[in-house]
Amino acid sequence: MASTPLVMGVVNVTPDSFSDGGRYLDAERAIAHGRRLLADGADILDVGGESTRPGATRPLLEEELDRVVPVIEALAADGATVSVDTMRAEVAAAALGAGARIVNDVSGGLADPGILQVAAESGATYVAMHWRAHSDRMQDFTTYDGPVAAVVADELGARVDAILAAGVARDRIVLDPGLGFAKTGDQNWELLGRIGLVRDLGFPLLVGASRKRFLGDLLATGGTPRPVDEREFAHVAIVAALALDGIWGVRVHDVRATRDVLTALDRIEREK
């Protein structure tokens, strides 16, 4: 393990996220949750005001701003490294102004090309995820003309060209293969198994598998998927595999479990 992956803790300030929708919609609750994740070992807090679960509808711009800006201001004031999970240029700009240092754009600039200019002008780290359509119709786009990992790499490569052309520095770009976004469960597993094809693009990779449906399907009993909050053991197995594969970062809900796995792996590696 060349280096321990960064742990990005999820702070969903939404009423409808698949894992904890509504639990942290109140700003004070979201701030307290972020502080707990820091205490558990998060390196980055990813604050988002729009659910991207399959079938989700988009909030109004004003709603998204009202959800994330106060939370980012408070957590950044604490000294946390904060990422804003948004597809909107206006939200990215406001979040960076509030103290965020990373823009985590699940659309890779496709939903709102203006976000690339915001990232370029700010000098922020920009995370571009593989994306094909908004959440309300993304599962209509699961047909791939070739091996999934190869196609994802090609499509992300095209986004890299656009991101660089917008002026984002190469050393500020992080890529995300987009598990669960316009992908079936089998395609997610294929992508994880061949993630080296995406890494070969030459950029750090962030992977978010935490609590996702394909884990619930893997662990299903009698055809019923394992509940969202009972998928962590399978998730940390993925984290361990990715860590050994040299991943840059993992986006997770249970920071403590992830940190425990990474700490144990690091200790073993130091004895080799």
Is the residue at 95 inside a domain? yes
Cα–Cα distance for residue pair 78/88, rounded to 1 Å: 25
Is residue 212 annotated as a catalytic residue, yes or no?
A: yes
Report yes or no: 47 and 72 within 8 Å, Cβ to Cβ: yes
CB atoms within 10 A of CB 206: 25
Ramachandran quadrant class, 174 (left: phi over 0; alpha: psi -120 to 50; beta: rest)? beta
Q: Flag whether pLDDT at 96 surpasses 90.
A: yes
Report yes or no: 257 and 232 within 8 Å, Cβ to Cβ: yes
* Domain total in the chain: 1
Cα–Cα distance for residue pair 107/241, rounded to 1 Å: 26
Cα–Cα distance for residue pair 140/156, rounded to 1 Å: 19
Q: Flag whether pLDDT at 90 surpasses 60.
A: yes
- So what's the pLDDT on residue 3? 81
Q: How many CA atoms lie within 13 A of 144 on its CB side?
A: 24
Q: Flag whether pLDDT at 22 surpasses 90.
A: no
Burial class of residue 87 in the structure, from the number of CB atoms within 10 Å of its CB (0-12 exposed, 13-18 middle, 19+ buried): buried
- So what's the pLDDT on residue 24? 63
- So what's the pLDDT on residue 73? 98
pLDDT (tens digit, 9 = 90+) per residue, 228-243?
999 999 999 999 999 9
Q: Which of 31, 23, 9 is nearest to 85 (CA)?
A: 9
- So what's the pLDDT on residue 136? 83
Is the residue at 1 inside a domain? no
CB atoms within 10 A of CB 23: 15
Is the residue at 216 inside a domain? yes
Is residue 272 annotated as a catalytic residue, yes or no?
A: no
- So what's the pLDDT on residue 15? 79
Residue-range definition of the domain harbouring residue 191: 6-270
Report yes or no: 101 and 118 within 8 Å, Cβ to Cβ: no
The DSSP 8-state label assigned to residue 64 in this structure reads H
- So what's the pLDDT on residue 125? 98
Cα–Cα distance for residue pair 140/64, rounded to 1 Å: 26
Question: Among the options 212, 213, 231, 259, which is catalytic?
Answer: 212
- So what's the pLDDT on residue 101? 98
Is the residue at 23 inside a domain? yes
227, 231, 232, 238: CA torsion to nearest 10: -160
Domain of residue 161, CATH code:
3.20.20.20
DSSP E strands in 77-235: the ranges are 82-85, 102-105, 125-129, 173-176, 206-207
Q: For the chain, what is the mean pLDDT?
A: 94
Backbone angles phi, psi at 5, to 5 degrees: -60, 150
Which comes out higher in pLDDT, residue 3 or 121?
Answer: 121
Is the residue at 116 inside a domain? yes
Q: Flag whether pLDDT at 18 surpasses 90.
A: no
- So what's the pLDDT on residue 16? 59
Is the residue at 105 inside a domain? yes
Is the residue at 76 inside a domain? yes
pLDDT (tens digit, 9 = 90+) per residue, 33-62?
999 999 999 999 999 999 887 777 889 999
- So what's the pLDDT on residue 2? 65
